[in-house]
Amino acid sequence: MNRSTARLLFAIPAEMQYITHIPPAGDSVTHKGTVATMTKKKKLKVNPAEAKQRIETIFPILKKTYPDAKIALNYDSPFHLLLATILSAQCTDVRVNMVTPPIFKKYPAPADFLDVAPAVIEEEIRSTGFYRNKTKNIKACCRMLVDEFDGQVPRTLEELTRLPGVGRKTANVILGNAYGQQGIVCDTHVIRLSRRLGLSDNIDPVKLEFDLMEVVPKQKWGGWTMFSHLLIWHGRTICKARKPDCPKCPIAAHCPAANNPELW
């Protein structure tokens, strides 16, 4: 043993010096070189045909359970919905709804933001978090709306996703709620519930969106937009991240992960 190795060894707690095996991801190391395997999340085998049939069963149940399901963000125009959605990144809808009323009043159109100093906007949206980056996106987005879209929020996914700070999720929020065009919004609730329900094993929002487009009816029962609302509402009220309330779940009988923590 050379001096460097000795110094390194002495810096390691004694109970950890005898570990002779580096476990793969999913394992945990215990003292004295033993390895204990943690409970791994099992992965459901997704069958698109079964997923499609499951949706045919659960969609009407969820719609009956949440008859008032809709977007949680308050807005009075496509532009203000765009603003609210940008602000909602890494922030609760409740907080955004607290912040937006004076902003909507002060900035009714994209042009109203152009000559405002970033520091002013940052202070107005500070409580939503990441306020500097959001301010930068809002300013750049409004500039593009004025310069290229005559101050109007575009009506196509391709044009919307050109706007700074706007990805497919935000674009689908605008299309589905402001313009009545069908779109699947893959937020954290939709990602989690889609996995638990065996609708898709993709956690990438874009890949999941395309998976769901293949199995969710585009128009029936309110279509893609309504299905997104229903999963979000269900995720917030019953199928929560840490511990879903399976005994109270109206679709538990049709859920592969119900009462099965390994699949949560």
Q: Which residues, in sequence order, are CB contacts of 204 under 8 Å at separation 6+?
A: none
Report d(CA 85, CA 74) in Å as an integer.
10
Tokens for 133?
A: 């980056």
The dihedral over CA atoms of 233, 237, 238, 242, expressed in degrees to the nearest 10, equals 110
Query: Could you say which of 134, 139, 169, 211 is catalytic?
Result: 169
Query: Could you say which of 27, 112, 187, 201 is catalytic?
Result: 187
C-beta of residue 51 within 8 angstroms of C-beta of residue 264: no
187 included as an active-site residue: yes
Q: What is the DSSP string of the chain?
A: --HHHHHHHHHS-GGGTT----PPTTEEE-STT-EEE--PPP-PPP-HHHHHHHHHHHHHHHHHH-TT---SS--SSHHHHHHHHHHTTTS-HHHHHHHHHHHHHH-SSGGGGTTS-HHHHHHHHGGGS-HHHHHHHHHHHHHHHHHHHTT---SSHHHHTTSTT--HHHHHHHHHHTS--------HHHHHHHHHTTS----SHHHHHHHHHHHS-SSGGGHHHHHHHHHHHHHHHTS-SS---GGG-TTGGG-TTTT-GGG-
Catalytic residue positions, numbered: 169, 187
